[in-house]
Amino acid sequence: MSEPVWALSARGVSRWFRLDHQKITAVDKVSLDIPTGTIIALVGQSGSGKSTLLSLLGGLDRPSEGQVFLDGKLFGDPVLVSESQRAELRQRHIGFVFQAYNLISTLTAVENVMFPLRLAKLRPALCREKAMHLLGEMGVADRAKHLPSQLSGGEQQRVAIARAIVHEPGIILADEPTGSVDSKNGAIIMDLITGLCRKRGKTVVLVTHDPSVAEVADRIVHLKDGKIAGVEA
């Protein structure tokens, strides 16, 4: 039988930083396989390394040692993968949702959603059509022409989710997606993420410290001091 191809796979991944000549290890030799189409929650206390691990899995950062594979292809390596290669893979395969929404401040809602498609060099008219369709699904089509500063937190996060999935990536990485909204909006956002991802067969990796958010996951990975402390199904 051939080896299964994981959506994301970490092999002995570590990430450390130097601060005042002191080595601080944020992620310590983590190995993790994430099957395609599943929702994984990374949980742990503040400083446990969950956001750093998410960045490594998403190619936003380069591991200090170990390797990350995306659909079986080398994606993260201390030396072998360039920033341009990681950027290209990110653009094609990964969508990000952040706690602070992180919409581009000088672009309107619809332009933010169009952005990943524009990077993929699709026709602007087609990008707009797709973006408007998704904003409609998210219930914020009427705010399409507004700048992020003119939107509420919940609206911004819905726009951010639309942006994360508009280019149809296989993997969604969400860092505390409900962390900056109230519980009502949090529930709506989680419904959107899980609903859309289940419907479209996406792989989702969530970072959260909220047990009710983690509950939606197929697997919960507990992190402590940069290491995997346990996995529950």
Q: Which of 45, 9, 55, 53 is nearest to 28 (CA)?
A: 53
What is the footprint of another protein within residues 35-54 (CB under 8 A)?
A: 51-52
Q: Which of 175, 224, 173, 176 is nearest to 28 (CA)?
A: 224
User: What backbone torsions phi and psi does residue 159 show, to the nearest 5 degrees?
Assistant: -65, -40
The residue range among 37-45, 105-113, 184-192, 219-227 that interacts with another protein, by the rule CB under 8 A, is 105-113
84 binds another protein per the rule CB under 8 A: yes
Q: How far is CA 176 from the centre of its chain?
A: 10
Helix (H) or strand (E) holding 62: none
In angstroms, give the least distance from the CB of 218 to another protein.
25
147 binds another protein per the rule CB under 8 A: yes
Q: Is 97 helix (H, G, I), strand (E, B) or coil?
A: strand
What is each CA distance from 203 to 29, 125, 147, 165, in whole angstroms?
23, 29, 30, 11
DSSP state of 108: -
Query: Of the candidates 6, 30, 96, 151, which one interacts with another protein according to CB under 8 A?
Result: 96
Residue entry with tokens 């993420």: 193
Complex with another protein: residue 77 or 175, whichever CB lies closer: 175
Query: Total residues contacting another protein (rule CB under 8 A)?
Result: 37
Strands 73-76 and 219-224: unpaired
Contact 152, 103 (CB under 8 A): no
What is the footprint of another protein within residues 114-133 (CB under 8 A)?
A: 115-116, 118-119, 121-124, 126-127
In angstroms, give the least distance from the CB of 4 to another protein.
26
Bridge partners of 220, per DSSP, are 41, 232
Complex with another protein: residue 163 or 202, whichever CB lies closer: 163
CA angle 25, 27, 30 (to 5 degrees): 135
Q: What is the DSSP string of 191-208?
A: HHHHHHHHHHT-EEEEEE
Complex with another protein: residue 35 or 179, whichever CB lies closer: 179
The residue range among 36-44, 66-74, 84-92, 210-218 that interacts with another protein, by the rule CB under 8 A, is 84-92
In angstroms, give the least distance from the CB of 232 to another protein.
26
Complex with another protein: residue 24 or 104, whichever CB lies closer: 104
In angstroms, give the least distance from the CB of 132 to another protein.
17
111 binds another protein per the rule CB under 8 A: yes
Query: Of the candidates 104, 200, 218, 231, which one interacts with another protein according to CB under 8 A?
Result: 104
> Using CB under 8 A as the criterion, which residues of the chain lie in contact with another protein when the complex forms?
51-52, 55, 58, 60-61, 83-84, 87-88, 90-92, 96, 98-100, 102-107, 111, 115-116, 118-119, 121-124, 126-127, 147, 163, 175
